[in-house]
């Protein structure tokens, strides 16, 4: 599981240390999908800021201990993560509803959805909630998910939500 942002890595490191204080930097690196040197940098920074303490338990074995300040940081990072996740969820749903409204205005009730991951899953659920059929035929528009963007392809032409309908596109050509 590759974690992208510094705060996400801090959160995962703090959670991992809390669950297993005898964790090695190598095990943390494997969980984060990063190099051991990256984990070392994060842990040193967390130690310097007073969020984590380190104790030597054997000659080559360390134990990491989260301080009360570290617990408070973990709580703040968790809340931020949840709030950001909900913000992204609402954004994807809003974009999908706009795209589906265009499809519905064209008189269609089925689409083909292309994309994978969490964003595509939110889009699938939004379709089902609106009664849209997902296994559209060859004439159905394709909603292509790329990152957080949703593109509508009408008979091979792509557009963003808010783009002209197929008949409007033909009038502007």
By CB atoms closer than 10 A (0-12, 13-18, 19+), residue 106 is middle
Residue 136: the pLDDT is 67
User: Do the Cβ atoms of 66 and 74 come closer than 8 Å?
Assistant: yes
Relative orientation angle of helices 68-105 and 6-19, to the nearest 10 degrees: 130
- 3-class SS at 71? helix
Q: What is the pLDDT of residues 59-80, one digit of tens each?
A: 878 899 999 999 999 999 999 9
Helix H segments across the chain?
6-19, 25-32, 36-48, 68-105, 118-129, 166-172
Contact 99, 161 (CB under 8 A): yes
Would you state the CATH architecture of domain 6-66?
Answer: Orthogonal Bundle (1.10)
**Residue bearing tokens 């913000």:** 87
Low-confidence ranges of the chain (pLDDT < 50): 1-3, 160-173
Query: Cβ neighbours of residue 84 under 8 Å, at least 6 residues apart?
Result: none
**pTM beyond cutoff 0.95:** no
State the first-to-last Cα distance of the chain, in angstroms, to the nearest integer.
Answer: 46
**Where along the chain do its domains lie?**
6-66, 88-172
Cβ atoms 79, 114 nearer than 8 A = no
* pLDDT for res 60: 79
What pLDDT shows up at residue 1?
40
Q: Give the chain's length.
A: 173
């Amino acid at each position: 599981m590759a974690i992208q942002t510094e705060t996400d890595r801090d959160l995962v490191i703090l959670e991992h240390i809390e669950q297993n204080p005898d964790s090695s930097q190598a095990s943390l690196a494997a969980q984060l999908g990063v190099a051991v040197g990256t984990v070392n940098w994060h842990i040193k920074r967390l130690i310097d800021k007073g969020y984590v303490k380190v104790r030597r338990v054997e000659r080559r074995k360390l134990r990491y201990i989260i301080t009360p300040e570290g617990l408070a940081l973990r709580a703040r990072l968790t809340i931020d993560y949840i709030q950001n996740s909900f913000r992204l969820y609402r954004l994807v749903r809003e974009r999908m509803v706009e795209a589906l409204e265009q499809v519905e205005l064209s008189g269609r009730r089925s689409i083909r959805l292309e994309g994978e991951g969490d964003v595509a899953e939110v889009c699938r659920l939004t379709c089902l909630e609106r009664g849209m059929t997902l296994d559209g035929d060859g004439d159905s528009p394709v909603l292509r998910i790329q990152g957080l963007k949703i593109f509508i392809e009408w008979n091979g032409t792509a557009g963003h939500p808010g783009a002209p309908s197929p008949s409007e596109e033909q009038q502007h050509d």
